[in-house]
């Protein structure tokens, strides 16, 4: 997941989000940015001067690659919850929302080849649908609370451990939560919420198809 690709997707920052495909592209770029920044900032801080040497070791790089992919998937689910919050505030119907956002996440994951340690991302897609469905049982969460779940999944797969686990976990949690607030602000500013809500209102259950791929 090269940083140049992330920068390329982030560069057209004023592009409005009106379609599921545009939402998938936005969510992919933002999840990649947040997950890489949160993990790399933490690892650099903990490795200190040993970072350059560690980065040259094949075992460390393999562990880091695993961590970065799993972090991306976890944060992508958080960004899906942010999208659910935004769309609910815009009057989106609850019924099609879990499947819709699971399709968006599936499309975002499909932008990359499946990493070597995975057969597919089906568990992440299913988990997104369930996450959004559970979120609909109550009012939308405050945006600042989103990120605790993904931090809990990312921290255990970090390739560096210290004897300051509690403080380190707080560092990762706070970093992700802070960055996700910025993602929500940008999503709110760029998204044509009425356009996406209309798409949701027109949505019908699909027989195994992905509504993002079917959208113009």
Give the integer Cα–Cα distance in Å for 216 and 214: 7
Report if residue 16 sits inside a domain. Answer: no
- Do residues 83 and 104 lie in contact, with contact meaning Cβ atoms separated by under 8 Å? yes
Q: Which two tokens stand for residue 163?
A: 């004897």
Report if residue 198 sits inside a domain. Answer: yes
Report if residue 24 sits inside a domain. Answer: no
Q: At a CB cut-off of 8 Å and minimum separation 6, what does 31 contact?
A: 72, 75, 76, 78, 79, 108
Report if residue 112 sits inside a domain. Answer: yes
Dihedral through CA 188, CA 189, CA 192, CA 196, nearest 10?
A: -20
Report if residue 41 sits inside a domain. Answer: yes
- Do residues 100 and 212 lie in contact, with contact meaning Cβ atoms separated by under 8 Å? no
Report if residue 93 sits inside a domain. Answer: yes
Report if residue 129 sits inside a domain. Answer: yes
Report if residue 6 sits inside a domain. Answer: no
Could you give the number of structural domains in the chain?
A: 1
Give the integer Cα–Cα distance in Å for 176 and 148: 8
- Helix, strand, coil shares of the chain, percent, nearest 5, are 70, 0, 25
pTM for this structure? 0.86
Q: What residue numbers bound the domain in which 152 lies?
A: 31-204
- Do residues 113 and 69 lie in contact, with contact meaning Cβ atoms separated by under 8 Å? no
Give the integer Cα–Cα distance in Å for 115 and 201: 35
- pLDDT at res. 159: 82
**Predicted confidence pLDDT, tens digits, the chain (216 residues):** 554 544 455 555 568 999 999 999 999 999 999 999 998 888 888 878 777 788 788 888 899 899 999 999 999 999 999 999 999 999 999 999 999 999 999 999 999 999 999 999 999 999 999 999 999 999 999 999 999 899 888 888 888 765 556 677 888 899 999 999 999 999 999 999 999 999 887 765 444 556 675 454
Q: Which two tokens stand for residue 23?
A: 């939402």
According to DSSP, residue 19 is labeled S
């Amino acid at each position: 997941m090269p940083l140049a690709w992330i920068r390329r997707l982030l560069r057209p920052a004023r592009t409005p989000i009106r379609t599921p495909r545009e939402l998938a592209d936005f969510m992919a770029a933002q999840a990649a940015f947040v997950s890489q920044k949160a993990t790399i900032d933490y690892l650099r801080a903990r490795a200190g001067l040993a970072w350059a040497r560690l980065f040259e070791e094949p075992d460390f790089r393999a562990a880091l690659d695993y961590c970065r992919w799993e972090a991306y998937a976890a944060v992508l689910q958080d960004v899906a919850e942010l999208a659910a919050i935004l769309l609910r505030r815009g009057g989106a119907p609850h019924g099609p929302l879990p499947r819709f956002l699971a399709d968006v996440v599936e499309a975002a994951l499909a932008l990359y080849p499946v990493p070597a340690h995975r057969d597919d991302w089906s568990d992440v897609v299913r988990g997104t649908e369930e996450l959004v469905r559970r979120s609909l049982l109550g009012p939308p969460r405050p945006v600042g609370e989103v990120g605790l779940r993904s931090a809990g999944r990312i921290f255990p797969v970090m390739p560096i451990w210290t004897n300051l686990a509690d403080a380190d976990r707080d560092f990762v949690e706070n970093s992700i939560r802070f960055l996700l607030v910025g993602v929500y602000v940008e999503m709110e500013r760029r998204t044509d919420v009425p356009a996406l809500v209309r798409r949701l209102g027109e949505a019908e259950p699909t027989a195994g198809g992905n509504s993002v791929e079917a959208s113009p």
